[in-house]
């Protein structure tokens, strides 16, 4: 109740609340896709590469989140392109993008003149510091993600289940393959403000894994993941606000704990 | 007059330094029921994928009903090796079969028509898996999964049906059912299947091809020891496990 009252009073809490919901919607949809297609490590790679863009933003004096957008989309396209060229060891590729992105970020920040900026916001997230501009960007990206998945839903389902068969049907699977990588990149940018680069993976996996315990229908799994993500995020926000700790940490710890408990209950009820 | 369903001329496929298929010439008549046998790594799956346009060919040409290969227009149905597939994806049998009706264009807000739903229902019934229709795929046995994939291919309403190891890793009774199913389907369309299992070759196969990078044999479904030996590079003892029709002559001693 107190939080609801606070939300009506403070602009920054309203922003934080809106950011929570958008992050949950994106996580629900993209999280289900990445966990099903085993693209989690790839998502981690793209997320960490984006740190280079944040550093570049500081160095050149533009909005760091735009730098993150640029770097994550480039990383997604780069990884996709090299994989398509027949490079087999994608884990090596992902690791290299991951570490090079981080290294570039550190380098750019070191090169930036003046006092080193507060970077923990981007690494660990601080949903209470979300600005109006952040919100507009998040809204645009969330809308893009939802729209692209919804518009081609039946094609996505067929492609994600069996890409080879989709290709035989004449579907341009290369388009879908790049699109999914770009969607992951966009989602990560949405998530950075909420949970930060380092904790993105938890928000992509926990709600999706949680909903996987409850339903085996593809669309329903996305919907449940959105609902659970929202609950985790808003509760995490509440904890973050009152305990004055980084929102990323509270959201991640809460969602992981909930998943662990749900998984344990599920195992016990299955009699294992 | 029978038409040429698939015509392959001087086909070569290479993966980097490795030659997967070398100088293949193969004509499949419409209505044929062709079994392609050969050892693992002999290029059988590659040959199917070449016909489907899934692999790049380094030489030669493949025409389907007189036109350059294009699976979508030529209506080739495909049943992949189910061992390679994602069995945990959250999707039901009916939904999988329905994807056989999906349109090849990335049309926005594409929905299946009533006719599509009907076709999916009909093939599911024809294959005899109606009772599994609403089940999710992770609950299927190997044989049931394979039947679902055959139903999906039939939902494409193809003229030619390609199957990759249709009876591998399924139990004996499913194997028998699938063989019977293919015999029945072969009355209505051209079928080509590959297998490394000589025993999987149904008694109703109309012709047989033997593939080990090159095409060793193509013709009547009767194999001589000489062909089999050149196919497998070593003498193979041919034992027929209750297969009604023996495609293979008896093997006499080593080389």
pLDDT at residue B237, as a whole number = 47
* CA gap A190, A180 in Å, rounded: 15
SS3 content of chain A, % helix, strand, coil (to 5): 85, 0, 15
For chain B, the average pLDDT equals 82
Which residues 129-158 of B are in CB contact (within 8 Å) with A? 136, 138, 152, 156
pLDDT at residue B244, as a whole number = 45
- For residue B23, how many C-alpha atoms fall within 13 Å in the half-sphere facing its CB? 1
Q: Which domains does chain B have, with CATH numbers?
A: 4-232 (3.40.50.300)
pLDDT at residue A208, as a whole number = 94
pLDDT at residue B74, as a whole number = 56
Using an 8 Å CB-CB cutoff, list chain A residues near B100: 169
* CA gap A265, A271 in Å, rounded: 10
- Number of Cβ within 10 Å of residue A153's Cβ equals 16
Model confidence at B245: pLDDT above 60:
no
Complete DSSP assignment for B174-210: HHHHHHHHHHHHTTTSEEEEEES-GGGS-TT-SEEEE
**B17 in contact with A, Cβ within 8 Å:** no
User: Quick check: A225 and A255 in contact, CB under 8 A?
Assistant: no
Question: How far, CA to CA in Å, does A113 sit from each of A61, B19, B177?
Answer: 10, 58, 75
* CA gap B8, B216 in Å, rounded: 15
Domain boundaries, chain A: 2-269
User: Quick check: B59 and B11 in contact, CB under 8 A?
Assistant: yes
* CA gap B130, B122 in Å, rounded: 9
**Residue among A162, A172, A219 with most chain B CBs within 10 A, to mutate:** A162
Instruction: Considering only the beta carbons, identify the residue of B80, B90, B136 that sits closest to A164.
Output: B80
Which stretch of A105-119, A177-191, A205-219, B196-210 has the lowest confidence by average pLDDT? B196-210
Residues sharing a CB contact under 8 Å with residue A175, sequence separation 6 or more, in sequence order: B106
Model confidence at B17: pLDDT above 60:
yes
* CA gap A32, A34 in Å, rounded: 6
Closest listed residue to residue A96, CA positions, set A72, A79, A77: A79
pLDDT at residue B227, as a whole number = 64
What are the tens digits of pLDDT across the range A79-112? 999 888 877 788 888 999 999 999 999 999 989 8
Instruction: Considering only the beta carbons, identify the residue of A151, A157, A165 that sits closest to B91.
Output: A157
**Residue among A31, A168, A211 with most chain B CBs within 10 A, to mutate:** A168
Closest listed residue to residue A36, CA positions, set A258, A191, A209, A200: A209
Instruction: Give me the numbers of helices (H) and strands (E) for chain B, helices first please.
Output: 7, 10
pLDDT-derived band at B98 (thresholds 50, 70, 90) equals very high
User: Quick check: B33 and B84 in contact, CB under 8 A?
Assistant: no
Give the percent of chain A with pLDDT over 70.
98
Instruction: Considering only the beta carbons, identify the residue of A151, A155, A161 that sits closest to B89.
Output: A161
pLDDT at residue B226, as a whole number = 62
3-state secondary structure of B27: strand
Read off the pLDDT of each residue in A171-182 and give the average, rounded to a whole number: 93
pLDDT at residue B240, as a whole number = 46
Read off the pLDDT of each residue in A111-138 and give the average, rounded to a whole number: 83
The DSSP secondary-structure symbol of A271 reads T
Q: Which two tokens stand for residue B40?
A: 């693992």
Q: Which two tokens stand for residue A167?
A: 């290709």
**A163 in contact with B, Cβ within 8 Å:** no
Which residue of chain A has the CA closest to B48? Answer: A168
Between A153 and B231, residue with greater pLDDT? A153
Closest listed residue to residue A259, CA positions, set A189, A183, A208: A208
**A218 in contact with B, Cβ within 8 Å:** yes
Between A198 and B228, residue with greater pLDDT? A198
Complete DSSP assignment for A152-195: THHHHHHHHH-HHHHHHTT--HHHHHHHHHHHHHHHHHHHHHHH
Write down the residue that tokens 């991951």 correspond to: A98
Closest listed residue to residue A169, CA positions, set A94, A161, A126: A161
Read off the pLDDT of each residue in A238-244 and give the average, rounded to a whole number: 85
In terms of pTM, does the model score above 0.90? no
* CA gap B55, B244 in Å, rounded: 36
**A172 in contact with B, Cβ within 8 Å:** yes
pLDDT at residue B201, as a whole number = 64
pLDDT at residue A229, as a whole number = 93
ipTM: 0.85
What are the tens digits of pLDDT across the range B168-191? 878 888 888 888 889 889 999 999
Question: How far, CA to CA in Å, does B84 sit from each of A91, A218, B134, B249?
Answer: 20, 21, 23, 33
Complete DSSP assignment for B46-105: HHHHHHHT-S--SEEEEEETTEE--HHHHTEEEE--GGGS-S-SS-BHHHHHHGGG--SS
Read off the pLDDT of each residue in B35-46 and give the average, rounded to a whole number: 85
Closest listed residue to residue A31, CA positions, set A145, A159, A152: A145
Residue A22 phi, psi (nearest 5): -65, -40
**B82 in contact with A, Cβ within 8 Å:** no
* CA gap A91, A93 in Å, rounded: 5
Using an 8 Å CB-CB cutoff, list chain A residues near B110: 152, 154-155
Cβ of A162 and B91 within 8 Å?
Answer: no
For chain A, the average pLDDT equals 89
Using an 8 Å CB-CB cutoff, list chain A residues near B102: 154-155, 158, 166, 169, 171
- Residue A71, sorted as left (phi over 0), alpha (psi -120 to 50) or beta, turns out to be alpha
Cβ of B80 and A162 within 8 Å?
Answer: yes
Q: Which two tokens stand for residue A165?
A: 């068969």
* CA gap A177, A181 in Å, rounded: 7
- Number of Cβ within 10 Å of residue A54's Cβ equals 28
Using an 8 Å CB-CB cutoff, list chain A residues near B95: 157, 218
Instruction: Considering only the beta carbons, identify the residue of A165, A212, A221 that sits closest to B78.
Output: A165
Size of interface A-B (CB pairs under 8 A): 79
Which stretch of A36-50, A126-140, B100-114, B203-217 has the lowest confidence by average pLDDT? B203-217
Closest listed residue to residue A149, CA positions, set A223, A224, A67, A71: A223
Between B155 and B212, residue with greater pLDDT? B155
pLDDT at residue B200, as a whole number = 61
pLDDT-derived band at B255 (thresholds 50, 70, 90) equals very low
What are the tens digits of pLDDT across the range B190-234? 999 998 776 666 667 888 888 888 887 777 776 666 666 666 654
User: Quick check: A40 and A204 in contact, CB under 8 A?
Assistant: yes
Model confidence at A8: pLDDT above 50:
yes
Torsion from C-alpha of B87, B88, B89, B91, nearest 10 degrees: 80
Cβ of A151 and B99 within 8 Å?
Answer: no
Model confidence at B108: pLDDT above 90:
no
Domain A2-269 sits in which CATH superfamily? Answer: ABC transporter involved in vitamin B12 uptake, BtuC (1.10.3470.10)
Model confidence at B252: pLDDT above 70:
no
Question: How far, CA to CA in Å, does B33 sit from each of B40, B138, B157?
Answer: 21, 31, 17
Q: Which two tokens stand for residue B134?
A: 């609403």
Model confidence at B100: pLDDT above 90:
yes
Between B111 and A88, residue with greater pLDDT? B111
pLDDT-derived band at B72 (thresholds 50, 70, 90) equals low
With b for 16 or more beta-carbon neighbours within 10 A and e for fewer, the B174-183 pattern comes to bbebbbebbe
Read off the pLDDT of each residue in A12-41 and give the average, rounded to a whole number: 91
Model confidence at B239: pLDDT above 50:
no
pLDDT at residue B233, as a whole number = 57
pLDDT at residue A156, as a whole number = 94
**A216 in contact with B, Cβ within 8 Å:** yes
Read off the pLDDT of each residue in A50-71 and give the average, rounded to a whole number: 92
Read off the pLDDT of each residue in A15-21 and give the average, rounded to a whole number: 90
């Amino acid at each position: 109740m107190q939080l609801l009252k606070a939300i009506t009073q403070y602009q920054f809490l309203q922003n934080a609340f809106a950011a929570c919901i958008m992050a949950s919607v994106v996580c629900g949809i993209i999280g289900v896709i990445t966990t099903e297609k085993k693209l989690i490590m790839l998502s981690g790679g793209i997320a960490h590469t984006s740190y280079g863009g944040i550093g570049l933003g500081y160095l050149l004096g533009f909005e760091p989140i735009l730098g993150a957008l640029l770097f994550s989309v480039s990383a997604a396209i780069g990884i996709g392109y090299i994989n398509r060229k027949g490079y087999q060891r994608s884990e090596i590729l992902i690791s290299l993008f991951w570490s090079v992105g981080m290294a570039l970020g550190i380098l750019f920040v070191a090169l930036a003149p003046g006092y080193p900026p507060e970077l923990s916001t981007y690494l660990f997230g601080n949903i209470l510091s979300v600005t109006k501009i952040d919100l507009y960007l998040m809204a645009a990206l969330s809308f893009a993600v939802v729209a692209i998945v919804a518009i081609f839903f039946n094609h996505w389902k067929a492609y994600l289940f069996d890409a080879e068969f989709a290709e035989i049907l004449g579907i341009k699977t290369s388009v879908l393959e790049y699109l999914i990588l770009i969607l992951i990149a966009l989602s990560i940018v949405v998530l950075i403000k909420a949970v930060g680069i380092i904790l993105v993976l938890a928000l992509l996996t926990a709600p999706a894994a949680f909903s996987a315990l409850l339903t085996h229908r593809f669309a329903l799994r996305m919907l449940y993941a959105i609902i659970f993500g929202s609950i985790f995020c808003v509760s995490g926000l509440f904890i973050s606000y009152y305990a004055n700790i980084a929102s990323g940490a509270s959201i991640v710890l809460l969602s992981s704990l909930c998943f662990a408990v749900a998984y344990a209950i599920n195992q016990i009820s299955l009699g294992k | 007059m029978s038409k040429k369903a698939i015509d392959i001329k001087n086909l070569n496929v290479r993966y980097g330094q490795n030659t997967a298929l070398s100088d293949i010439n193969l004509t499949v008549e419409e209505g044929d029921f062709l079994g392609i046998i050969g050892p693992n790594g002999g290029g059988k799956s590659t040959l199917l994928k070449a016909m489907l346009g899934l692999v790049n060919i380094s030489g030669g040409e493949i025409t389907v009903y007189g036109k350059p290969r294009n699976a979508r227009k030529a209506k080739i149905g495909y049943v992949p090796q189910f061992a390679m597939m994602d069995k945990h994806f959250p999707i039901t049998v009916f939904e999988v079969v329905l994807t056989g009706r999906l349109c090849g264009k990335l049309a926005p807000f594409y929905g299946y028509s009533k006719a599509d739903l009907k076709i999916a229902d009909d093939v599911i019934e024809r294959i005899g898996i109606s009772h599994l229709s609403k089940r999710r795929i992770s609950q299927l046995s190997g044989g049931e999964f394979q039947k679902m994939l055959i139903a999906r291919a039939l939902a494409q309403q193809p003229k030619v049906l390609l199957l990759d190891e249709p009876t591998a890793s399924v139990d004996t009774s499913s194997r028998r059912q699938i063989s019977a199913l293919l015999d029945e389907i072969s009355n209505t369309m051209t079928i080509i299947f590959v297998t490394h299992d000589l025993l999987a070759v149904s008694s109703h196969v109309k012709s047989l091809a033997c593939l080990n990078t090159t095409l060793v044999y193509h013709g009547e479904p009767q194999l001589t020891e000489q062909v089999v030996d050149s196919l497998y590079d070593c003498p193979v003892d041919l034992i027929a496990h209750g297969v009604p029709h023996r495609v293979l002559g008896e093997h006499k001693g080593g080389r």
